[in-house]
Amino acid sequence: MLADRGENEALRGLLAARVMQDLLRYDVGPTTLFKRSVRQYAIFRGPVTATASPADIAAGMMCLSANMPADAVAFVSAVPCDSAVHELLTSPASPLKRTFHILPWGQPNLHCKIDWTGTSEAYLASLGFDSRRNLKRYAKKLFGDGSINARVERFRHPQDVDRFILDGSSVSDKTYQKRRLGLGLSPGGSTERRIRFAAERKGFLGHILYLGDRPAAFHYGFIFRRTFFVLQMGYDPAFSAHQPGSVLFFEVLRDVEKLKLDVTTIDCLPGVTDFKLRTTNQKVRIRNFYLFKRSFSGSLLYAWLRALDALATAAKRIVRRVSGRPGRVAA
């Protein structure tokens, strides 16, 4: 974390980065055209400043440049397209261009959120008709079937974590994200440490849907500064006919209402799925950027990535022109 102080030693802003050795790569379809291990500074959205002025944001990024090795890269993710950070990263006259090569990475995406006013009925009213009807219908059908014995349990306190990890992992192990991508809930490691850290500070909220004695779906997140960040959710495909993921999601929101939590935003994190699009009422356009130092090695990395991106973009245009439909070439 870097702190920037002005001439009067007043704190102007903070920039937090996760520093790691990561793989910088460029893929076109199944083919990897470029791959190199680099020291990466991962930054979410950009600096946090007292005034949100472009000058203070630029100062924070300049401070980062001064502390980065010559061959390191910064990856600034989920930058809102209507923000001052985005303006600094895209403006031809940006002062950041004196120290960085700036490369937009990928197409603009969406950051899906829920503007939460305190009640599940107000939330439902903010959705489209089909989404609103389905969330209520799935829950009513599942809980109305006495033979299934469906119930939802809340996990919030440090003494709850062991069972949440045990039962939640048994669901996560069966999901596509865990089996194919290696992502999900597992005992031990950084995920469990973060959950225990949050639970000890009253910032953890987890739920599991049980059908009979078997856990069918899990959902958890962290609460910080009036925002409930949804970290992970998943369901056992064996119960997919009962729509367990949708049912649990709605029950979590009803529980947020029941607990009267001081929450105004439910953040479903960057990245788009059909489920997020159907169940959120706030979509923020975001974009990612790579920043390379204006050193010999940084300029070389930037030149390689920019050239490959230009070639891939040209290939997509050719495919669209020839086929008359969107191309299959993807970076």
CB 257 within 8 A of CB 118: yes
Residue 12: pLDDT over 70 = no
Q: How many CB atoms lie within 10 A of CB 256?
A: 21
Residue 30: pLDDT over 90 = no
pLDDT of residue 324: 62
Residue 162: pLDDT over 50 = yes
| Nearest CA-CA partner of 128 in 283, 284, 277 | 277
Q: Out of 139-148, 185-194, 243-252, give the one with best mean pLDDT.
A: 243-252
Section 154-177 average pLDDT: 93
Q: 8 pLDDT band (50/70/90 cuts)?
A: low
pLDDT tens digits for range 211-254 = 999 999 999 999 998 999 999 999 999 999 999 999 999 999 99
pLDDT of residue 47: 77
pLDDT tens digits for range 293-328 = 999 999 999 998 898 888 877 777 777 777 665 443
In percent, the amount of the chain with pLDDT more than 70 equals 92
Q: How many CB atoms lie within 10 A of CB 175?
A: 22
pTM to 2 decimals?
A: 0.80
Residue 192's DSSP bridge partners are none
Question: Chain-wide mean pLDDT for the chain?
Answer: 87
CB 255 within 8 A of CB 72: no
pLDDT tens digits for range 50-101 = 676 788 888 888 888 888 888 899 999 999 999 989 999 999 999 999 999 9
